Structure 1
Amino acid sequence: MAVVGAGDYEEKRCSLARELGRRIAQTGHVLITGGLGGVMEAASQGAKEAGGVVVGILPGEREAANPYVTVAIGTGMGHGRNAIVVRSADVVIALPGLYGTLSEIALALKMDKPVIDLGDWNVDGMIKAESLGEAMEIVEAKGKTAARRRRG
């Protein structure tokens, strides 16, 4: 499951991202993020503290990864790494962000990935979740569908 959102985030929203990361780990999913700060770091922290695996797909070098990343992948691709983040996930959960997050949303939708709107994106094709609990219910349903599709 990928969590995308702003790299610079206020604490209130970071606590939501931490809880989201924790729940993703507790349900046995690997968390995929862009590996940097803000939402990415908060979700990574929640997942790692819950015993989960966190994959950070970095725009530059591995050394830039936040301290909660388990597996750091340095791409040297800048924002181009957004395509790898969303392609690697079964489901993408979008918290509020800016243009980088919007690009991840667009790429995921283009790749036919389920994208859960846990912010106020209002982008056609996204699945709106009104709460963290509702987002996790959607993750479980969509994740199972994606796994069946992979097995063919």
Structure 2
Amino acid sequence: MLKSKKWICVFCGSADGASPAYLETARCLGRLIAGQGHGLVYGGATVGAMGAVADAALGTGGEVVGVIPDVIMDREIGHTGLTELHVVRTMHERKALLAERADAFVALPGGYGTLDEFIEILTWAQLRIHAKPCVFVNVGGYYDGLLAFFDRAVAEGFIKAENRGLILVAKDAAEAVGIIERAWNLREEAPAHDARLDELVK
């Protein structure tokens, strides 16, 4: 049983995406995060999958914290209906605050920004700066090519095999939340346990 409120950071696109499955997965994730009593931390925008995940969490009675750079806020896409909205100066400050507030990270389908944010979080995990679960939601095989690239990087000696295990993969929102909750419970029940996170998806 989780002892205190946990926060899940969701990285996702500011676009809707070509398939309706992308927005529906974002909405489902927002509902699940709030419905399970967790908080949502995200990039603070109203548009695309970002707006969908936030609105779904809010609509389910959840707490949502947004972090957005002022240059984006000035374009009038900042979400003003959140529990908290932090307006920062730079993208670097945004990433740092998102990482600080979160207990886990999820990447939904997205573009350059999503990958930039999530890959940096994975790099910090590789450097043992944090030990928070990091989950790709591979909607319709969206991340198949990227996951194959990571496997190639292992084969070519650029990523250690044990660090490849930091990358968790879920097929949908429900599986992603389940993986995260099992990781949290594992750490609370046995903080010294050193099991690889990829065991959680077996």
Asked if 1:22 corresponds to 2:31, the answer is yes
Q: How does 1:109-148 map to 2 (within 5 A)?
A: 109-112=122-125, 113-119=132-138, 120=143, 121-122=146-147, 123=150, 124=164, 125-145=166-186
Retained in 1: the 8 A contact 2:25–2:172? no
Retained in 2: the 8 A contact 1:57–1:81? yes
Q: 1:93 to 1:55 in 2, by over 3 A?
A: same
Match of 2:10 in 1: 3
Match of 1:53 in 2: 63
Return the alpha-carbon distance in structure 1 between the equivalents of residues 89 and 186 of structure 2: 32
Q: One-letter code of the match for 1:44?
A: A
Return the alpha-carbon distance in structure 1 between the equivalents of residues 114 and 124 of structure 2: 15
Match of 1:83 in 2: 96
Q: 1:14 to 1:146 in 2, by over 3 A?
A: farther
Retained in 2: the 8 A contact 1:79–1:100? no
Deviation at 1:77, TM superposition (A): 1.1
Greater displacement, 77-86 / 41-50: 77-86
Deviation at 1:143, TM superposition (A): 3.1
**Matched residue pairs, number?**
149
CA deviations over 1:17-59 (Å, ceiling 9, x no partner): 0110110001111100001122221110110000000000011
Return the alpha-carbon distance in structure 2 between the equivalents of residues 84 and 145 of structure 1: 25
Q: Which runs of 5+ in 2 are unaligned?
A: 1-7, 126-131, 151-163, 192-202
Larger Rg: 2
Return the alpha-carbon distance in structure 2 between the equivalents of residues 42 and 91 of structure 1: 19
Greater displacement, 138-147 / 67-76: 138-147
Return the alpha-carbon distance in structure 2 between the equivalents of residues 59 and 130 of structure 1: 31
Aligned alpha-carbon RMSD (Å): 2.3
Q: 1:75 to 1:44 in 2, by over 3 A?
A: same
Return the alpha-carbon distance in structure 1 between the equivalents of residues 114 and 188 of structure 2: 24
TM-score w.r.t. the length of structure 2 is 0.66
Greater displacement, 86-95 / 114-123: 114-123
Retained in 1: the 8 A contact 2:29–2:174? no
Retained in 2: the 8 A contact 1:108–1:114? no
Match of 2:113 in 1: 100
Local SS of the residue matching 2:109: coil
